Amino acid sequence: MQRGYLARKLHERRAQILLPSVLLAPIFILVIYLLFETAKVSMTKVRHQFALDNAAYSQVSSASTYLNAMAMVNGPLPFRVMRFYGSEDKKIYHKDQAAAPWGHDISIFELFYLSGAVPGALGDKDGRKANLRPAPESVDWRVHYVEEHPDGNQAQTKQGDPVITSRKDWEKEQPAPPGNTVVRLISQTLVDNYHFPGGKLGIPLLTQYLTTYVYDGSIYKSQDYVFKEVTKNQIMFREAYFLNVSNCKRSECGRESAAKLRPFLSLRTKPFEIEKFEVFFSDGGAKRGDTHGRAISSVLDVPNLLSGQKLFQFAYLDPSSRSKLRSLKRGILLKQKFQLPRNHFNINLEQKYKPYVRTKVSLSCPRNNNNCVWPNPLPKYNVTLDP
């Protein structure tokens, strides 16, 4: 009786869907497994792509931070400090009392600037204005030492502003270190014409100048040390990669890409330092109308003043680093193989497809040679990633 009932039901029209349904059920299960395994592969690739992008950006950002810091200590920082300290309300008086109404008095900053002891910014005309700020969109801050007149030492950048010290040999990509050469920091011509006695004026101002550049050199050394530490064995790259994936060992994560990037981030700068310098002080008083005598020379040994240290002025890139920066401007292509998770079909996808992720990382500043460190420093290095 039951057989007859089943036979009748199977011959009914509505029962014809049963057999195909039984046959399609495994196919539906297979499709679900395929979707699941495809999602696993996709998630793994996305995770490794993010890890590579994050690692590359983090590691190259350490270089951009370092280079921008070098550009700042090479001019804008000491310029701003000395500009603030030598503001317009602090004057160095001209020896001629009648000269004051024509604006021949100079500020403390101008004394050092016109002597070639500190660079200016935005050119000579704008660089002496109070509250100087370059425009945000500016790609040339014009950080230079005062220019020497081509006819000789008696240059006149402004009426009554004689210049005696040229820094043309300093403003090169590869300047020659001064060594034991005596560098003149205070112009004799200026002191011949302005009240700059050593007692209550000259020595305190010189001390302020030396303190500014000692701190400047300390910042340089700290930044240089930090950069070398974070680029040693590409530690930032490997750590960032490891923390964003879950299927590789700390010592193995991102090894290929780290090895490809390592040679381009071994950037090195050299400090330009002074060992001996000469300054001049006037023989007389500091006030307008005081007796103004001759300029008295004083040659000082920096290591004796600074407990064995030399006086930092700026830092410049070595030739190898300038070459690496040109390559970094074009971009470094990174390819990183990664391991796929096991699947329910026991198929070795890595052997078949050799999966990898890629990114192109660039480090550039707004100059064709990609050197914004020295001369004419500009702290505008940026990192970009391209797929």
Task: Dump pLDDT digits (tens) for 281-321.
Answer: 998 888 877 888 889 999 999 999 898 999 999 999 999 99
- Strands (DSSP E) contained in 61-118 are 91-92, 106-107
Average pLDDT over residues 205-214: 95
- How is residue 268 written in tokens? 């090195």
Instruction: Report which listed range, 113-122, 156-165, 299-308, 315-324, is most confident.
Output: 315-324
Give bridge partners of residue 385 from the DSSP assignment. 361
- Whole-number pLDDT of residue 162: 44
Residue 162 CA to residue 179 CA, distance in Å, equals: 27
Residue 383 CA to residue 360 CA, distance in Å, equals: 11
Greater pLDDT, 150 or 271 = 271
- How is residue 26 written in tokens? 């495994």
Q: Is the pLDDT of residue 71 over 90?
A: yes
Residue 108 CA to residue 91 CA, distance in Å, equals: 6
- Whole-number pLDDT of residue 89: 57
Q: Is the pLDDT of residue 193 over 50?
A: yes
Instruction: Report which listed range, 29-38, 246-255, 358-367, is most confident.
Output: 358-367
Alpha-helix runs per DSSP H in 232-371: 235-243, 255-261, 302-305, 319-330, 349-353
Q: Is the pLDDT of residue 157 over 50?
A: no
- Whole-number pLDDT of residue 249: 84
* Pick from 74-78, 115-119, 121-125: least confident: 121-125
- Kindly report the backbone phi and psi dihedral angles of residue 165, in degrees, each rounded to the nearest multiple of 5, phi listed first: -110, 125
Whole-prediction pTM value? 0.85
